[in-house]
Amino acid sequence: MTDTSGRRWRGWLVLGALVGAGLFGFFHSSPSSANERRARPAESSAAESSAAESSTAESSTATSADAASSRPAPHPARPSPRSPRDALLEGFDPLVHEADGPRRVSRLGGGRTAVLTLDARLQAHLEGQLARYEVPYGAVVAMEPATGRVLAYVSHSSASPDAGDLVLDPTPPTASVFKVITGAALVDAGVRPGTRVCYTGGGSRLTAWHLEDRTQEASCHTLTEAMGYSTNAIFAKLADRHLDGPTLERYAAAFGFGHALPFDVPTRPSPAEVPADRLERARTAAGFWHMHMSPLHGALIASTIANDGQMPRAAIVEHVEVNGEVAHRHEPSTFRNVIPRATARAVGEMMRHTVRTGTARSAFVDPQGTPFLPGIEVAGKTGTLSAERPYRGYTWWVGFAPADAPRIAVAALVVNTPQWRIKASYVAREALRQYLVVQAERPAP
């Protein structure tokens, strides 16, 4: 061995030691996550921060119906200093990877190789679906809800091939996916899933008229049915009666809105605004604008419900190799406890009705009523909203399966131009079908 090669090897050994020490600190003292406040009971959550931390004025405005909502939102996470892990991932792009046997890897230069968590067959299938239907703008993320390991990470645009990474774009409106957050807040405020509310209209437009009860209403649904059918008027009415502005802000923050969520590359916060105006606040709770999120964020929201109220740290890098030696390995961890287990399970049960009988049913059964995922129950939430000048038709699906023992959480976003291609529900179904049915029947060699 020459003197030059010997110095190179000694250099890598020193780097490995630094990485090991730095990563120990990174995974054991990550900044500003809700889980760091261990003085709270096991069932505490980011949406249930101690009331003692709130201002006197805030606490005095809470009503008895809002007992669970008198607690403040967690503060946004502070950026962490640059770590050895960041140095190892310098130049990493989640969209740039190649096959290396059964693995997907990203070559980073300097002898560094990022080995990804991606399921190669699922990734290829979803890339093919978005390309086949020439989706104008679309993205889909699949992950293990318990670990945050990303199984598929697909960004596609036939309308603008240089659109960039749409998985991390936080500008699309959440639409009715925000009903998941509102539903959790309502459950914690004491509204039972079986609470029955009557309403008239409000399907595409909500006014102050829709917030009031009428002597004769057109229909009545429970909160569970309202989640499945995405009934705007019911969510607006219940939010108007049980959730004030600070409460809705707290739950949005607990679910990650306004935060740069931790990931293997920098992320931008999902914009959130809770209007002071009564009607606009009710419309926000029902999913009419004011809230935005990235597909990665959507997958983390689905994972939170699937994971009994705990939001995992998302990761797409399984480990980093330097000249063939492992220098960093992903260790699954929880980003924060968002809501209590009982609340997550109540919301998850509501989300099953979206697929059983609600807005996503047609995507999950064929015209004869035969399910595409036989014997597998799915929990999900759809969202649909359109913008003009230029026209953009946003469709979302977020959810997980199997509903009783979740193995995969999915967020799919499809943005159509006036000539619609497919909806997000179809993409999500294909992700679940490929992973839970096709690949289970044909295991990888």
How confident is the model over 341-386, as pLDDT tens digits? 999 999 999 999 999 999 999 999 999 999 999 999 999 999 999 9
Is residue 260 predicted with pLDDT exceeding 90? yes
**HSE on the CB side for 326, CA within 13 Å?**
9
In whole angstroms, give the CA distance from residue 92 to residue 113. Answer: 10
Give me 63's structure tokens: 């009503």
Predicted pLDDT at 16:
44
Predicted pLDDT at 72:
33
Using one digit for the tens of pLDDT, what is the confidence trace for 160-172?
999 999 999 999 9
Least confident of 64-68, 202-206, 290-294: 64-68
Predicted pLDDT at 376:
98
Amino acid at 301: I
* 6: confidence class by pLDDT, cuts 50, 70, 90: very low
Neighbours of 214 (CB within 10 A): 11
Give me 192's structure tokens: 């039972």
Using one digit for the tens of pLDDT, what is the confidence trace for 21-57?
333 332 233 333 333 332 333 445 777 653 333 332 2
In whole angstroms, give the CA distance from residue 179 to residue 175. Answer: 8
Average pLDDT over every residue of 163-183: 97
Predicted pLDDT at 135:
97
Minimal CA–CA distance to 318: which of 146, 160, 138, 119? 119
Q: Round to the nearest angstrom and report the end-to-end CA distance of the chain.
A: 39
Is residue 213 predicted with pLDDT exceeding 80? yes
Predicted pLDDT at 44:
58
Average pLDDT over every residue of 195-205: 91
Predicted pLDDT at 23:
33
Predicted pLDDT at 220:
95
Is residue 392 predicted with pLDDT exceeding 90? yes
pTM higher than 0.85, yes or no? Answer: no
Predicted pLDDT at 81:
55
Is residue 176 predicted with pLDDT exceeding 90? yes
Is residue 61 predicted with pLDDT exceeding 90? no
All structural domains of the chain, each given as residue ranges with its CATH number in brackets, are 84-441 (3.40.710.10)
